[in-house]
Amino acid sequence: MTSAERRAAELRRLLNRAIHAYYVLDAPDLSDAEYDTLYRELQTLEEEHPALRAPDSPTLRVGAEPSKAFRKHTHLSPMLSLGNAFSDEELAAWEQKLLRYLGASAVRGGYTAELKIDGAAVSVTYRDGVLLTGATRGNGMLGEDVTANLRTVRDVPLRLQGDDVPPLVEVRGEVYLPFDRFERMNEERAAAGELVFANPRNAAAGALRQLDPAVTARRPLRFFGYAFAAPPGAKLPFQTQWDLLETLARWGVPIAPHRLRCARLAEVHTHARDIEQRIRGDLNFAIDGLVVKADSLTLQDEAGVVGGREPRWAVARKFAPDIAETRLLDIQVNVGRTGALNPYAVLEPVEIGGTTVKLATLHNEELVRRKGLRIGDIVQVKRAGEVIPQIIAPVPEKRTGDEREWHMPSSCPVCGTPVERDEEEVAVYCPNVGCPGRRLEGLVHFTSQAAMDIRGLSYQRLRQLVDAGLVKDAADLYDLTVPQLSELDRLAEKSAQNLVDAIRESKTRPLSRLLNGFGIRHVGTNAADLLARRFGTLDTLLKAPEEVIAQVRGIGPVIAASVARWLADPRARALIEKLRKRGLTFVEPEIAPADGPLRGQTFVLTGSLPSLSRGEATKRIEAAGGTVSGSVSKKTTAVIAGDEPGSKLDKAKDLGIQVWDEKELLHRLP
Ligand code: IVH
């Protein structure tokens, strides 16, 4: 093997692994910049030595093979990828190539420059204006059918408005998670001891490929449309990219802001600078550049596609990431509402993208270890939009030998109780339910919108109440009176009355909100919903043995152990009784099981069904009065098996339990 051959093989291996990690596992193992560098190196090698082009070269494909769990969706036409330009010069070089190819002296009609949204690409098919299917990009030709999940994205229109919508169209665009939502989600995950997402794109891509659409629905995903596909010969009401965007907007598809029609490339350069320096920091979603497209669709057709992968007529003008180097002065620890100890970085103040950064999140000990951070290190810090700054990596070359390793404290920094950790968990906890460090955070969570939803209780106000000694636990909120509140700083009697009303009104909130509000480790909105739906009242849950809790679909042994432990804690019991005395209702309304042909029957799903997704099958079974369980037991009515069933099928056969296919199930559903 020549050295070029060896290097090409190595690059193919690295890139293919990265593609798999990114698209299939949703767990990138290379940064975008690293990927781009390796990719370009391989591209150059292959251009210089065409004989090195192997059939498995990542330069020949877009994305990765779709994973097995979803049905496949064939795109009307390939969903393309984009070449990159990292500077004005590279962008000018791209234009030169385009002009040479077209043989034109100027690109007729100029360019459209759009934000390059850093999310997950999807294609949404509409028949007669009605949403039919939604799919991920997959390998560009074949995506994954994630219709049920895409339906939960609230700004993907279910019907296109307008009398010029062609009979069959694919609207293409990007699903993304806004920064503020991403932050909140990660905080909740960290508090619950779950792994946090590295960035909003991974969180969005992960949510989109959830097997249970209910999980997707809880991640507040958003959508921007930017492209279009229709069968050959379709009559389209636009001739330029600009008009395409305007048309999509008219049909009700959200379009990203800050798009610009540019007569010449110089305007694109200026726009790119403006976006990068002035606009980017204020956006509530991640972008990693601009997409520059020849505006005329006729020209786009003429220009065509290189190697089936990248269009000649479009390019990604990438931005430099907002990164700076500074010193990690210290690692300190916060106590969250569940008692989770969350480390954060104290940095030597540094300016990144126009703001001074002094702190960065570290989320948990695992992250510190994984990044190999030492106190005193020079570190690379990244800030994207409004996201709390993150440490990318230390710069080991700049070490002096004086750096020291950091370890999680062995006792709570607030109350001194020895910390606890579970074997598999990434987080460390203060086990003291009465820890003052947990109190305020706990009250903030209890009163938050996702829990008891008590309006008017801001962080500041809760802090005042705690400091004044008026509130020690959640139940104390219900004893507050108007005169007490009016005595607090700047609270007029009218506002105090409103607050008392809002607190009283929260007494009838559903059990699911209360359970979420308790801040039990591992119990967020999702688990709280499942528990509330299964048990109906707090008293039923209080009586349930741990094994029974563990059998609730979606709960499992870890959450069950945490719930059982919390419920058994005398301090938790005391809080519950105190809340009961204040008149909280503790019930989940509308949990009466649906009345239907499957009432009282329990099913287990295994393998992938030919037409229903797991989430859809579950919904339909539940709507017919049945329940779906995660494991086979003697009580199982039937196992519903699809393609590539797992061990559940063997177990069903061992126990002599009926096995149905999807057809059988559909036959029995109303
Ligand atoms: S156009 C030419 N427009 O960037 C067809 N793509 O690296 C390519 N993207 O897969 C799509 N914002 O996921 C286009 N305004 C935009 C975009 C955009 C983000 C993504 C898209 C694509 C990737 C290419």
Q: Give residue-wise pLDDT tens across range 510-526.
A: 999 999 999 888 888 77
Mean pLDDT of 215-234: 88
Could you tell me if residue 634 is left (phi over 0), alpha (psi between -120 and 50 degrees) or otherwise beta? alpha
Could you tell me the distance, in angstroms and rounded to a whole number, from the CA of residue 82 to the centre of ligand 1? 7
Residues 6+ apart with CB under 8 A from 142: 65, 66, 72, 73, 74, 75
Could you tell me the distance, in angstroms and rounded to a whole number, from the CA of residue 81 to the centre of ligand 1? 7
Concatenating the DSSP letter of every residue in 8-49 gives HHHHHHHHHHHHIIIIISS--SS-HHHHHHHHHHHHHHHHH-
pLDDT higher than 70, residue 76? yes
Q: Identify any residues that bridge with 116 across adjacent strands, giving them in sequence order.
A: 289
Task: Please report the pLDDT score of residue 274 as a whole number.
Answer: 93
Ligand 1 pocket check for 226: Cβ under 6 Å: yes
Mean pLDDT of 31-57: 77
Name the strand (E) or helix (H) holding 238.
none
- Which mutation among 115, 136, 174 tests ligand 1's pocket best, with the greatest number of atoms within 8 A of CB? 174
Atom of ligand 1 nearest to the CA of 84: 7
Task: Please report the pLDDT score of residue 177 as a whole number.
Answer: 93
pLDDT higher than 70, residue 385? no
Atom of ligand 1 nearest to the CA of 316: 7
Q: In this predicted model, which residue has the larger pLDDT, 357 or 229?
A: 229
How far apart (Å, rounded) are the C-alpha atoms in residues 324 and 351? 8
Ligand 1 pocket check for 457: Cβ under 6 Å: no
pLDDT higher than 70, residue 32? no
- Contact between 367 and 186 under an 8 Å Cβ cutoff? The reply is no
- Contact between 171 and 123 under an 8 Å Cβ cutoff? The reply is yes
Identify residue 503 by its one-letter amino acid code: I
Task: Please report the pLDDT score of residue 195 as a whole number.
Answer: 66
Mean pLDDT of 628-641: 86
Ligand 1 pocket check for 290: Cβ under 6 Å: no
Ligand 1 pocket check for 446: Cβ under 6 Å: no
Residue located nearest, by CA, to atom 5 of ligand 1: 80
Could you tell me the distance, in angstroms and rounded to a whole number, from the CA of residue 227 to the centre of ligand 1? 8
- Which mutation among 32, 82, 317 tests ligand 1's pocket best, with the greatest number of atoms within 8 A of CB? 82
- Contact between 63 and 137 under an 8 Å Cβ cutoff? The reply is yes
Name the strand (E) or helix (H) holding 542.
helix 538-543
Could you tell me the distance, in angstroms and rounded to a whole number, from the CA of residue 73 to the centre of ligand 1? 19
Residue % of the chain over a pLDDT of 70: 92
Task: Please report the pLDDT score of residue 301 as a whole number.
Answer: 92
pLDDT tens for 405-457 read 999 999 998 889 999 986 556 678 888 877 878 888 889 889 988 899 998 88
Ligand 1 pocket check for 314: Cβ under 6 Å: yes
pLDDT tens for 295-315 read 999 999 999 998 778 999 999
- Contact between 294 and 302 under an 8 Å Cβ cutoff? The reply is no
β pairing state of 287-294 and 111-117: antiparallel
Mean pLDDT of 539-553: 89
Ligand 1 pocket check for 303: Cβ under 6 Å: no
Strand segments, DSSP code E, in 242-397 are 260-262, 287-294, 305-306, 310-311, 314-318, 323-335, 341-352, 355-361, 378-382, 390-394
pLDDT tens for 181-209 read 888 887 777 766 666 776 788 889 888 88
pLDDT tens for 608-622 read 888 887 777 887 887
- Over the chain, what is the mean pLDDT? 86
Ligand 1 pocket check for 123: Cβ under 6 Å: no
Confidence of residue 64 (pLDDT cuts 50, 70, 90): very low
Which pair of structure tokens corresponds to residue 151? 């339906």
Residue positions annotated with a catalytic role: 116
- Which mutation among 32, 116, 287 tests ligand 1's pocket best, with the greatest number of atoms within 8 A of CB? 116
Per DSSP, 537 falls in state: B
pLDDT higher than 60, residue 591? no
Residue located nearest, by CA, to atom 7 of ligand 1: 82
Ligand 1 pocket check for 316: Cβ under 6 Å: yes
Residue entry with tokens 């043989």: 103
Decide: helix, strand or coil at residue 507: helix
- Contact between 552 and 602 under an 8 Å Cβ cutoff? The reply is no
Could you tell me the distance, in angstroms and rounded to a whole number, from the CA of residue 402 to the centre of ligand 1? 46
Report the candidate in 53, 275, 252 with the shortest Cα–Cα distance to residue 161: 252
- Contact between 173 and 224 under an 8 Å Cβ cutoff? The reply is yes
- Which backbone phi and psi does 420 adopt, to 5 degrees? -125, 155
Could you tell me if residue 613 is left (phi over 0), alpha (psi between -120 and 50 degrees) or otherwise beta? beta
Give a three-class secondary structure readout of 340-380.
Answer: EEEEEEEEEEEEECCEEEEEEECCCHHHHHHHCCCECCEEE
Neighbours of 248 (CB within 10 A): 24
pLDDT higher than 80, residue 279? yes
Task: Please report the pLDDT score of residue 63 as a whole number.
Answer: 45
Could you tell me the distance, in angstroms and rounded to a whole number, from the CA of residue 288 to the centre of ligand 1? 11
User: Where is average pLDDT lowest: 36-40, 409-413, 590-594, 652-656?
Assistant: 590-594
User: Where is average pLDDT lowest: 150-164, 248-262, 378-392, 532-546?
Assistant: 378-392
Task: Please report the pLDDT score of residue 197 as a whole number.
Answer: 76
How far apart (Å, rounded) are the C-alpha atoms in residues 130 and 475? 49
Task: Please report the pLDDT score of residue 578 as a whole number.
Answer: 95
Residue located nearest, by CA, to atom 9 of ligand 1: 116
Task: Please report the pLDDT score of residue 495 as a whole number.
Answer: 87
Confidence of residue 361 (pLDDT cuts 50, 70, 90): confident
Q: Between the CA of residue 582 and those of 134, 432, 480, 490, 507, what are the distances in Å?
A: 48, 24, 11, 27, 8
Atom of ligand 1 nearest to the CA of 116: 12
Mean pLDDT of 346-375: 85
Ligand 1 pocket check for 311: Cβ under 6 Å: yes
pLDDT higher than 60, residue 26? no
Could you tell me the distance, in angstroms and rounded to a whole number, from the CA of residue 555 to the centre of ligand 1? 38
Residue located nearest, by CA, to atom 23 of ligand 1: 81
How far apart (Å, rounded) are the C-alpha atoms in residues 538 and 591? 13
Could you tell me the distance, in angstroms and rounded to a whole number, from the CA of residue 355 to the centre of ligand 1? 29
Ligand 1 pocket check for 227: Cβ under 6 Å: yes
382, with CB counted inside 10 A (0-12, 13-18, 19+), is buried
- Which mutation among 291, 292, 300, 317 tests ligand 1's pocket best, with the greatest number of atoms within 8 A of CB? 291
pLDDT tens for 466-495 read 888 889 899 999 999 999 888 876 778 888
Which pair of structure tokens corresponds to residue 30? 């290379």
- Which of the given ranges, 38-42, 322-326, 345-349, has the highest pLDDT on average? 345-349
pLDDT higher than 60, residue 345? yes
- β-sheet with 287-294: strand ranges across: 83-85, 314-318, 287-294, 111-117, 260-262
Atom of ligand 1 nearest to the CA of 314: 2
Give the chain's end-to-end CA distance (angstroms, integer).
64
Residue entry with tokens 């940064």: 31
- Give me the helix-helix angle, 3-19 and 32-48, nearest 10°: 140
Could you tell me the distance, in angstroms and rounded to a whole number, from the CA of residue 136 to the centre of ligand 1? 13
Could you tell me the distance, in angstroms and rounded to a whole number, from the CA of residue 116 to the centre of ligand 1? 6
- Contact between 619 and 591 under an 8 Å Cβ cutoff? The reply is no
Residue located nearest, by CA, to atom 16 of ligand 1: 116
Exposure pattern of 269-290 as b/e (b: 16+ CB <10 Å)? bebbeebbeeebbebebbbbbb
Ligand 1 pocket check for 35: Cβ under 6 Å: no
